């Protein structure tokens, strides 16, 4: 297997208790992407569960940091350094409470927007200049306790929708790899209703 040209990171928390929760959408989307491209996950490197393979013709490493969400940057920085990849070769998938459930946003760079996992990646990598795919989890009604909400299991009615979202998220990452982030923004963001708030 050739050295990876791209590092795709899904964010979440390790352990079965967190698996099907909004805060683990990054993990779930990465697993779906791995399955679509027959990439076997499970090896541990730089405190992340990783898999190597080819996504849309590009040698890629898929990674799920096992450090718990708020320390995700340690794994990401380690993998970038180990494989001599610059942050412009990094793509991060994560949940976003500022976007409606089932919506997606592709961005070429930007702030953490309050997401602690992304905040730690920015801190460790030393730049905001990396691509990301944000997956909306806003339920459409006021959330009194955001920390509790993102760690609560998905509702039964969301399970079928979740399956469709994971396929759409995988397709969005594939588009980011083949078409580039700018073209993917035009396609993916146009289809996604939701927040007008821009990352800065």
The reply to whether 200 falls in a domain is: no
Q: Which of 23, 37, 115, 141 is catalytic?
A: 23
- Residue given tokens 């700018």 in the structure block: 182
pLDDT at 193 over 60: no
pLDDT-based confidence at 146, cuts 50/70/90? very high
Rounded mean pLDDT, 117-143: 96
The reply to whether 89 falls in a domain is: yes
Question: What's the pLDDT score for residue 143?
Answer: 93
Question: What's the pLDDT score for residue 196?
Answer: 46
Q: List the CATH number of the domain containing 26.
A: 3.40.50.1470
The reply to whether 197 falls in a domain is: no
SS3 108: coil
The reply to whether 115 falls in a domain is: yes
Rounded mean pLDDT, 165-177: 97
Question: What's the pLDDT score for residue 197?
Answer: 46
The reply to whether 13 falls in a domain is: yes
The reply to whether 198 falls in a domain is: no
What is the count of structural domains for the chain?
1
Q: Are 105 and 99 in contact (CB under 8 A)?
A: yes
Q: Which tokens hold the place of 134?
A: 């944000």
- How many whole angstroms separate alpha carbon 198 and alpha carbon 200? 6
Q: What digits encode the pLDDT tens for the residues 37-90?
A: 999 999 999 999 999 999 999 999 999 999 999 999 999 999 999 999 999 999
- How many whole angstroms separate alpha carbon 89 and alpha carbon 2? 15
Question: What's the pLDDT score for residue 157?
Answer: 86
CA distances from 68 to 44, 59, 89, 96 (A): 14, 26, 23, 17
pLDDT at 192 over 70: no
- How many whole angstroms separate alpha carbon 63 and alpha carbon 113? 22
The reply to whether 1 falls in a domain is: no
pLDDT at 199 over 70: no
Question: What's the pLDDT score for residue 83?
Answer: 97
Who wins on pLDDT, 199 or 82? 82
Q: What digits encode the pLDDT tens for the residues 57-66?
A: 999 999 999 9
- Residue given tokens 């090896």 in the structure block: 43
The reply to whether 73 falls in a domain is: yes
23 is catalytic: yes
> What domain range includes position 167?
6-191
């Amino acid at each position: 297997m050739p050295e990876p040209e791209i590092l795709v990171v899904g964010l979440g928390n390790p352990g079965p208790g967190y698996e099907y929760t909004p805060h683990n959408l990054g993990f779930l989307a990465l697993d779906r992407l791995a399955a679509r491209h027959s990439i076997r996950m499970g090896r541990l490197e730089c405190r992340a569960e990783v898999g190597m393979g080819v996504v849309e013709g590009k040698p890629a490493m898929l990674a799920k940091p096992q450090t718990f969400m708020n320390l995700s940057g340690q794994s990401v920085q380690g993998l970038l350094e180990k494989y001599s990849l610059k942050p412009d070769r990094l793509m991060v998938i994560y949940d976003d409470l500022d976007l409606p459930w089932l919506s997606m946003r592709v961005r070429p760079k930007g702030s953490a927007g309050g997401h602690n996992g992304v905040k730690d990646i920015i801190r460790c990598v030393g730049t905001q200049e990396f691509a990301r795919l944000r997956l909306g989890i806003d339920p459409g009604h006021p959330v009194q306790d955001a920390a509790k909400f993102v760690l609560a299991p998905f509702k039964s009615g969301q399970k079928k929708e979740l399956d469709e979202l994971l396929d759409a998220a995988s397709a969005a990452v594939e588009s980011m790899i083949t078409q580039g982030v700018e073209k993917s923004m035009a396609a993916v963001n146009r289809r996604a209703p939701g927040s007008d708030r821009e990352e800065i």
